[in-house]
Every structure is written in structure tokens, then in C-alpha cells.
Structure 1
Amino acid sequence: MYPPELVKPMQDELENAGFTSLHSAQEVEETLKKGGTTLVVVNSVCGCAAGTARPGAVNSLQHDKIPTNLTTVFAGVDAEATAKARENMIPFPPSSPAIALFKDGVLVHMLERHHIEGRSAEVIAANLSGAYEEYC
């Protein structure tokens, strides 16, 4: 587990953009049962989370269509919530950072770490915006 003072600014970056941090398996389950579209960002302390995943997810919200529910779990902090989120991302292996889009609780779009590393925030945002156009 990472110290709270280390991860707070990383959590705040998404929360300030309208994402809700989920801290328990129950919160993840309840959110995915709400229906509509749900974006889940698996946040991380790594450089690609800071450089492209979080900024890309935030920038993707400038699109006309966006998910109904914006959520995040923090790998290495919210262990129970992260495990439950990843359980719903099967068949994809655990990865952080990662960004998943669900529609009515069903995974419809996934960005794994290898889709994020080495790509710009703009490329991540464009990828997500394309998924929003299709599913939201």
C-alpha cells in the first residue's frame, strides 16, 4: 500500500475532473449495476499513469458523448475495489494503469497498460472518444 499523502494528488487529478473514487468491492458492484455507461480508470503511481492515462481520460471528457458514470480505483491503495474492477475486466490480465468502458455492466472497450505506454494523452483521449461515440 502506498502512503495516502503520496497518492492524494493522483486521486485528486481524476476526482477534480468529475471521477468518483471507489474504495470497496461493493462500490464497484453497485456502480456497474447502475446501467448506462461506466468508465473505470485503474489509477497507478507509475509514470505512464501520470503522463498519459490520467490526462487522456480527463481530456476524453471534452467529447460530445461521454460515459454516464466516471469512476476510478487505485491499484496498490484500494486493493478490494481494484480486484473487483479487474474481475469485471476478464479476459484481460490485470494491468495498471488501465481504462475500461462498461455498458450496462458489460465490458465493451479496454485500454491495457501496453495500449497506454508510449502513447500521448491526446491519443488516449481520441481512443476513448471513439469508444464513447460507439457506446455512449
Structure 2
Amino acid sequence: MYPEIMVIPMREELVRAGIVETKTADDVDAAIAQSGTTMVVVNSICGCAAGKMRPGVRLALANATTQPDQKITVFAGQDREATDRARGYFEGHPPTSPSVAIMRDGKLVYMMPRFVIEQATAQQIAGELIRAFDEHCAKATA
């Protein structure tokens, strides 16, 4: 684990974008238990999180007309209990960080693992997340 002082700016970058930090397993469970969609961002201290994932998530949230109902983050290597719990919901996917998932009513409907993040620019990540929001987070119309 890194000294907390080192990760504060990395945490705050997502919080300033409107994403709620979850630091315990109970926090994660409570967020995912809410009806609707929840974006789960697995934050990390690595370079691809700093240069690609966090900027891409921020761009997506700033430009998307459709967004998840809830947006939470866990910090891999720091908040292990919360991170382990979040990853427990990502059935069929190995643990990676950084990563971005979308849950609908507690079930995984979308996953962007590290290998995708590593190969994309922040703008490409944003575009893909906006596409995923449109597909998985749009409200049904009567």
C-alpha cells in the first residue's frame, strides 16, 4: 500500500467528477444494491490510470447525455476490502486495475478491463464509455 498522501490527488480527481468514493465492502454493496445502473471505477496509481482512464472517465461524464444512475470508485492497492468486493461482482473477469464496469440492478452488463485501457487514448476511452452509457444506462420509454 502506498502512503495515503500520495494517492489523495488520484482519489480527488474522480470525486471532483462526481464519483462517490467507496472504501468498505458495505459501501460497495449499498451502492450496487440500488436499482438502476452503477458505474464502478477501479482506480489505480499506475500510469495508464493517470494518463488514460481517469481523464477518459472525466471526459465521458462531461460529454455524455446518458449517464449511470450511480457512480462509485474503489482504489486498488489502498482500499482492499472495497476493491475485492467490487471485483466480486465482475463475474467472469479477472481482477484488473484500472478498470471500469457498469452494473444494472446488481448484475454486470459492461466491463472495460486494463488491457483495453492500456491500448486506448483518453478520448477513445471517453467515446467507448459514452457508447456504453447509451447502450446500458438509457431509461426505458413508455
Matches within 5 A, 1:30-49: 30-49=30-49
Give the C-alpha shift of residue 90 in structure 1: 1.7
Normalised by the length of structure 2, the TM-score is 0.94
SS of alignment partner, residue 18 of structure 1: coil
Q: In structure 2, give the amino acid aligned to 1:29.
A: D
- Specify the alignment match of 1:23 in structure 2: 23
Give the C-alpha shift of residue 118 in structure 1: 2.6
Between structure 1 and structure 2, the one with the greater Rg is: 2
RMSD: 0.6
Q: In structure 2, give the amino acid aligned to 1:15.
A: V
Please identify runs of 4+ aligned residues in structure 1 that moved more than 6 A.
none
Which 5+ residue runs of structure 2 have no aligned equivalent?
138-142
SS of alignment partner, residue 58 of structure 1: helix
| Structure 2: distance between partners of 1:93 and 1:104 | 21
Normalised by the length of structure 1, the TM-score is 0.98
SS of alignment partner, residue 67 of structure 2: coil
Matches within 5 A, 1:63-74: 63-74=64-75
Which 5+ residue runs of structure 1 have no aligned equivalent?
none
| Structure 1: distance between partners of 2:129 and 2:35 | 19
